[in-house]
């Protein structure tokens, strides 16, 4: 069934036609500030909290779902935030075609699709190739934040980050259940209230790490959807 598309008219939303005309994502903002990327913004709950807390930073929030982008843009507009822009795009495509190397202060990925069936786990976004991609686009000592409510995925990503040269762990263990001041989205709160832990990993790009050219992503399930202009 084809997803019914909602026309998104919010000034916080950047249509694909405009994205392709940009030389630099910073052109989307009135002020040039450290740039952050949230992958899978859902309904915008997380990025609104973060952008309100850090007005001295700019945020790009992306999702592949039209409805989520619409809700996120509405929330951002209602909050009166001028330092967030929403795009409907796929993460690897955005990074490879529209983000400058070593230009991101932080990447945030919260509760992505866990693809729980074993035969589908190759479709998970965060794997060794994706971490190499992230290293290429994070600035020196840039932050990589990952959270999930899915136990297997949380353990897997913590182990991958620990083994990946170029990342330094900000905690004593590959992952933690202590979120501290990390913003909690509505989705995350639902699991916490049920007594289910969130697996959270926070790493930083190692200073002076010489990142190699990013591997080209293998064409997979999430790369085959069509965007609207």
pLDDT band for position 19 (cuts 50, 70, 90): very high
Annotated active-site positions, please?
A: 113
Q: What is the pLDDT of residues 39-65, one digit of tens each?
A: 999 999 999 999 999 999 999 999 999
pLDDT of residue 215: 67
Q: Please state which of the four CATH numbers 3.40.50.1000, 3.40.50.150, 3.40.47.10, 3.90.25.10 is assigned to the domain occupying 107-224.
A: 3.40.50.150
Give, in order, the Cα–Cα distances in Å from 173 to each of 131, 169, 202. Answer: 18, 8, 10
**Under a CB-based contact definition with an 8 Å cutoff, are residues 106 and 145 in contact?**
yes
Which CATH architecture is the domain 10-89 placed in?
Answer: 3-Layer(aba) Sandwich (3.40)
pLDDT of residue 179: 96
| Domain positions in the chain | 10-89, 107-224
180 phi-psi bin (left φ>0, alpha ψ -120 to 50, beta other)? left
**In which residue are the tokens 């409805």 written?**
67
Q: What is the pLDDT of residues 85-123, one digit of tens each?
A: 999 999 999 999 999 999 999 999 999 999 989 898 899
What would the DSSP string read from start to end of 177-197?
S--TTS---HHHHHHHHTTPP
Query: What's the mean pLDDT in 8-29?
Result: 96
Mode of pairing for the β-strands spanning 199-205 and 167-169? antiparallel
Query: What's the mean pLDDT in 143-158?
Result: 97
pLDDT at 222 over 60: no
pTM of the model: 0.93
Same fold for the pair 10-89 and 107-224: yes
Helices 128-137 and 91-98 cross at an angle (nearest 10°) of 40
Higher pLDDT, 150 or 212: 150
Query: What's the mean pLDDT in 11-16?
Result: 96
The dihedral over CA atoms of 76, 13, 123, 46, expressed in degrees to the nearest 10, equals -10
The DSSP code for 65 is -
């Amino acid at each position: 069934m084809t997803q019914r598309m909602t026309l998104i008219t919010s000034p916080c939303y950047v249509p694909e036609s405009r994205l392709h005309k940009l030389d630099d994502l910073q052109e989307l903002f009135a002020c040039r500030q450290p740039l952050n990327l949230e992958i899978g913004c859902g309904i915008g709950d997380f990025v609104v909290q973060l952008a309100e807390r850090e007005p001295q930073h700019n945020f790009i929030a992306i999702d592949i779902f039209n409805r989520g982008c619409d809700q996120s843009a509405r929330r951002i507009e209602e909050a009166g935030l001028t330092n967030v822009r929403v795009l409907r795009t796929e993460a690897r495509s955005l990074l490879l075609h529209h983000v400058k190397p070593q230009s991101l202060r932080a990447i945030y990925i919260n509760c992505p699709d866990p693809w729980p069936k074993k035969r589908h786990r190759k479709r998970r976004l965060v794997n060794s190739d994706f971490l190499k991609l992230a290293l290429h686009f994070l600035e020196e000592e840039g932050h990589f934040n990952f959270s999930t409510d899915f136990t297997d995925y949380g353990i897997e990503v913590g182990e991958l980050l620990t083994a990946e040269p170029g990342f330094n762990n900000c905690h004593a263990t590959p992952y933690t259940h202590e979120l501290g001041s990390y913003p909690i989205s509505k989705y995350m709160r639902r699991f916490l209230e049920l007594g289910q832990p969130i697996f959270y990993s926070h790493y930083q790009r190692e200073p002076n790490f010489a990142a190699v050219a990013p591997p080209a992503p293998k064409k997979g399930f999430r790369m085959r959807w069509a965007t609207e202009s």
